[in-house]
Amino acid sequence: MYKHILFATDLADDTDFIINKVKSIQGYTNATLTLVHVVEPMPGYSYAYLGIEDIEGQLIEEARDALGKLGTKLKVDAKDQIIEVGPTKSKILKVADEVSADLIVCGSHGRHGLSLLLGSTANAVLHGAKCDVLTVRLPE
């Protein structure tokens, strides 16, 4: 049975759909739960273009607040709420290794065509993970 679940979230509005699944799995397995959200780095030129000095810092703070609210919903201690900055796939896989997760849960929009050709985060995580991955199909 699973002992450590890593919930990789994009903190989107449709996350409530996944939260119920995560709660169920955790309740059934009594596993430790860690949350991770990855902030994609902003290119250096975007600061001047957007006229914002520290947009990345602002994104991190907003993510920290949103992740804290999610942590409260899922009863996850602040030390198990992780914000990373960098390429999403590699950061999720890095955190999964660091916490010894045996299940990664993430959402998938189930896109087709060009998005599928370019690859999605869920697909990249699925093919790079050393543990089980549950991709939850999000409602359209």
Q: What is the CATH number of the domain that holds 108?
A: 3.40.50.620
Q: Tokens 């006229």 map to which residue?
A: 51
Instruction: Assess contact for 104 and 125: CB atoms under 8 A.
Output: yes
List, for residues 92-122, the tens digit of each pLDDT value.
Answer: 999 999 999 999 999 876 655 544 444 478 8
43 pLDDT above the threshold of 90 = no
53 pLDDT above the threshold of 80 = no
Q: 16-28 burial, b for 16+ CB within 10 Å, e for fewer?
A: eebbeebeebbee
Q: Express as a percent the part of the chain with pLDDT over 70.
A: 80
What secondary structure letter does DSSP report for 133? E
**Predicted model pTM:** 0.85
Mean pLDDT of 65-89: 95
- Number of structural domains, the chain? 1
